[in-house]
Amino acid sequence: MMTSADRIARVRLSSVYLPLDTPVSDAKVLTGRQRPMTEIAFLFAEIGTEQGHEGIGFAYSKRAGGPGQYAHAKEIAGNLVGEDPNDIARLWDKLCWAGASVGRSGLSVQAIAALDVALWDMKAKRASLPLAKLLGAHRDSVRCYNTSGGFLHAPIEQVLDNASAALERGIGGIKIKVGQPDTRADLARLKAVREHLGEQVPLMVDANQQWDRPTAARMGRAMEEYGLVWIEEPLDAYDHAGHAALAAALDTPIATGEMLTSVGEHAELIRARGADVIQPDAPRIGGVTPFLRLAALAEHEKLQLAPHFAMEIHLHLAAAYALEPWVEHFEWLEPLFNERLEIRDGRMLVPDRPGIGVTLSEQAAKWTAERYETT
């Protein structure tokens, strides 16, 4: 086997908790399944080599799971020391087998994700290329839409103001949350937003899995008149047959996938034809390496792509997808990094910085709860 002279010398892990300015609620809170979200847990991985090359990556968890991701990463990170950092696919498999007894999805691969993203970041930096260019970009910018301004804890007046501010910033589309116990409230909220935006602004809704099949069918029909780009997560994330029936019955595209935690789960969704728009989350399915495997499956089926959250990573992956994608704008993570992504004319621009193009801020260091390093 051909090898390079360089070897991984150290892996540094950080457990970081990002506080949210305002507790955030979607339909899962209004239906009593969850409490408002007040913080996001991040697992950061920083990998360094004997020749001085470095890479950074991250995974995250909302509400629960952050300590578990960090603990699993601590157990497996030592398997990278002494390895050739270029052999990313082989190293992903090595890390996966190191934790094979806890499975190949969910928390175990999410711990791998931070390490995998760091290896891809390093590889792109070594090539002096943005990650999108290393992968083979189809475009230098990606359509972007804002989600953070449309949550259900915000009164409709604030949602309208947030939408206007997003458009003024250059964001191209607006997504609002639905899925409230009172479906009439959802329709009234949607009507107000559409009238505020006008007919030309791309608009999406997200029910966060809170409808049953009859409700989703009724709401889907009622929402047809608003010309939505998609209806997101109308049903339970694993109800592939239900999503497929909606996709076949409605003119409005069905989007889902963010809660699936492996390529295998996404493959089942694709096989069932349960989505017009697939929404994988690289940190949730194990990093860039499995995302690329999934993207090949999705492209083969001519699915639209709209990766969930983590725009700092997903901008690069969306830029490398053959069909015109969307990327989701959340400003929540910005305090963690020294850099900012540029948005113009409805699109998010791929940065010309090498790698994924981010470095950790001093604020991230202040929010760090634990650190671990293996050499």
CATH of the domain at 85: 3.30.390.10
> In a 3-state reduction of DSSP, which class is residue 105?
coil
Helix axes 88-98, 107-126, angle to 10 degrees: 160
Residue 150 shares a structural domain with residue 279: yes
The answer to whether position 356 is within a domain reads: no
Structure tokens of 214?
């009859």
Q: Binding-site residues, please?
A: 26-28, 62-63, 175, 206, 208, 232, 258, 328
> In a 3-state reduction of DSSP, which class is residue 267?
helix
Q: With left for phi above 0 and alpha for psi between -120 and 50, is residue 33 left, alpha or beta?
A: alpha
Residue 294 shares a structural domain with residue 165: yes
Structural domains of the chain, count: 2
Q: What is the pLDDT along the chain (375 residues), one digit of tens a residue?
A: 555 689 999 999 999 999 998 888 888 888 888 898 899 999 999 999 999 999 999 999 998 999 999 999 999 999 999 999 999 999 999 999 998 888 888 999 999 999 999 999 999 999 999 999 999 999 999 999 999 888 999 999 999 999 999 999 999 999 999 999 999 999 999 999 999 999 999 999 999 999 999 999 999 999 999 999 999 999 999 999 999 999 999 999 999 999 999 999 999 999 999 999 999 999 999 999 999 999 999 999 999 999 999 999 999 999 999 999 999 999 999 999 999 999 999 999 999 999 999 999 999 999 999 999 999
Residue 32 shares a structural domain with residue 168: no
Q: Extract the runs of DSSP E, i.e. beta strands, from 121-163.
A: 141-146
Residue 93 shares a structural domain with residue 180: no
Residue 268 shares a structural domain with residue 167: yes
Strands across the sheet with 368-374, in order?
54-62, 37-49, 8-24, 368-374
Range of the domain at 265: 132-349
3-state helix, strand, coil in the chain (%, to 5): 40, 20, 35
Residue 57 shares a structural domain with residue 147: no
Report CA-CA distances (Å) from 3 to 100, 119, 315, 335, 338: 26, 16, 31, 38, 34
Q: Which residues pair with 277 in a beta bridge?
A: 255, 304
Q: Binding-site residues for Mg(2+), please?
A: 206, 232, 258
Residue 342 shares a structural domain with residue 210: yes
The answer to whether position 192 is within a domain reads: yes
Residue 86 shares a structural domain with residue 152: no
Residue 41 shares a structural domain with residue 108: yes
Residue 166 shares a structural domain with residue 305: yes
Q: Binding-site residues for substrate, please?
A: 26-28, 62-63, 175, 208, 328
Structure tokens of 165?
């501010």
The answer to whether position 159 is within a domain reads: yes
Q: Are 27 and 207 in contact (CB under 8 A)?
A: yes
Q: What is the pLDDT of residue 37?
A: 87
Residue 74 shares a structural domain with residue 216: no
> In a 3-state reduction of DSSP, which class is residue 349?
strand
Q: What is the pLDDT of residue 24?
A: 84
**Which residues are catalytically annotated?**
177, 308
Beta-carbon contacts of 119 under 8 Å, excluding residues fewer than 6 positions away, are 47, 55, 57, 85, 88, 91
